[in-house]
Amino acid sequence: MEFNFGKRNYQLMVLGLIFITTGYILMSGGKSEDPNIFSDAIFSFRRMTLSVIFLIVGLVIEVFAILHKDKDE
pTM for this predicted structure: 0.85
Q: What's the rounded Cα separation, in Å, for the pair 5 and 16? A: 15
User: 43 burial class (0-12, 13-18, 19+ CB within 10 angstroms)?
Assistant: exposed
SS3 (DSSP) at 24: helix
Write the pLDDT tens digit of every residue in 43-53: 899 999 999 99
Domain boundaries, the chain: 7-67
Which among 16, 20, 18, 21 is positioned nearest to 63, based on CA atoms?
16
Q: Tens digit of pLDDT for each residue in 13-40?
A: 999 999 999 999 999 987 778 888 888 8
> Higher-confidence residue: 73 or 60?
60
72 pLDDT tier (thresholds 50, 70, 90): low
> Which amino acid is located at 61 in the chain?
I
- According to the model, what pLDDT value does residue 59 have? 98
